[in-house]
Structure 1
Amino acid sequence: MRRWADAHPDYRWAPYPPGPPFTLAERVAALHEAVGDAPDPAVLVAHSAGCLTVAAWAARHTGPVRAALLVTPPYLDPTWEPDPNRPPDDSVYGPVPRARLPFRSILVASRTDPYTTFAQFRQYAEDWGAELFDAGDAGHVETASGYGPWPAGELLLARLHRQPD
């Protein structure tokens, strides 16, 4: 995702500057600001915990979003709750919203992701109303999994840009 942002000056990175630690509230606020500042409806691209941020943002906000590419979200059990001694918005993660997203989305699933099984990816896709894209043996679809340029992902993103709302 960083390569795409660097290669396209019109792409925005949220939160900026990227990098942990960020609470869920900070991530959602940064995404909301980026979406609100966009001159046109946004096509969101999220990886890993960023996918959970998109789901949390969509549960709390509306905005000019056309679509989202959600790449290998980590699985959190729907019954999991953050530490009750921490304020809910101070959690890095919270319960993952499972409502249908109000925009088109494609969820990229790997058969060998260390954080999520293919069945769990399928459930996220069903819950969020996302098209499921089987990336095969792709690890977590990150540099550590051997990814550099990702032409298949760029094709998925181009498809989201082309398809009508």
Structure 2
Amino acid sequence: MAFQKEPNVLVLPGYLDSGPGHWQTRWEATHASFSRVRMPDWAHPVREDWCRTLDAAVAAVPADGAPVVFAAHSLGCLTLAWWASSYATPSQRDKVAGALLVAVPDPAGRAFPATASGFAPVPHKRLPFPTIVVSSTDDPYGSVSFSQACAAAWGGRWISIGARGHINADSGLADWQDGLGWLTSLA
């Protein structure tokens, strides 16, 4: 799968980062234009810290260069929604061509990490760039109805991939070509 114009793909993992078998890590290993946004504390996420870190990563991308596309998973999705709705300047948002938001977690859910703070309530503003929200029918961190509500509020396309858990390394997706295709469609 190739992009028409190589975007700067910012990879936004969730809580505890994405390990070696995760599709995000695999994509990063095979695409030079993909780079991970390294959060200050993967085990104790604080919205303010994560959004400021994301803002710095977007600021580092030249405004006259290739566009930014996000490949976000789990808490990375909420970080992006908060950044776009409350932190990003118009010039920062203008750099963004789109976002793939995978396995959006529900901060009100029982499985949401107790060590994460500031991510609730979820922003329900339309995001200023195209989005695709991908969910699983058996994700322990976010229900189908929650994911659909996020997609609708953010103005995004919603896609279900069936029973794939939290759409992580345990989901058996390997290089996840379908996801890469959706990401490519945003650039």
TM over 0.5: yes
> What SS class does the counterpart of residue 100 from structure 2 fall into?
strand
Which has a greater percent of helix?
1
- Is the 8 Å Cα contact of residues 39 and 50 (structure 2) preserved in structure 1? no
The alpha carbon displacement at 1:94 in A equals 3.2
- Is the 8 Å Cα contact of residues 24 and 94 (structure 1) preserved in structure 2? no
Q: How many residues align?
A: 151
User: Which of these residues, 131, 143, 149, is aligned with residue 117 of structure 1?
Assistant: 143
The alpha carbon displacement at 1:16 in A equals 5.0
Q: Which residue in the other structure is 1:134 paired with?
A: 160
Unaligned runs of 5+ in 1: 78-89
Q: Which residue in the other structure is 1:98 paired with?
A: 124
Percentage identity across paired residues of the two chains:
36
The alpha carbon displacement at 1:92 in A equals 5.2
> What SS class does the counterpart of residue 12 from structure 1 fall into?
strand
The alpha carbon displacement at 1:21 in A equals 2.8
Unaligned runs of 5+ in 2: 1-23, 109-115
Structure 1 residue runs of 4 or more that deviate by more than 3 Å after TM superposition: 16-19
Pairing 1:51–2:86 present = no
> What SS class does the counterpart of residue 34 from structure 2 fall into?
coil
User: Alpha carbon RMSD of aligned pairs, Å?
Assistant: 2.2
In the superposition, the TM-score normalised over structure 1's length comes to: 0.83
Q: Which residue identity lines up with residue 142 of structure 1 in the other structure?
A: N
Q: Which residue in the other structure is 2:105 paired with?
A: 74
Higher-RCO chain (CA-CA 8 Å, sequence separation at least 6): 2
- Is the 8 Å Cα contact of residues 27 and 53 (structure 1) preserved in structure 2? yes
In the superposition, the TM-score normalised over structure 2's length comes to: 0.73
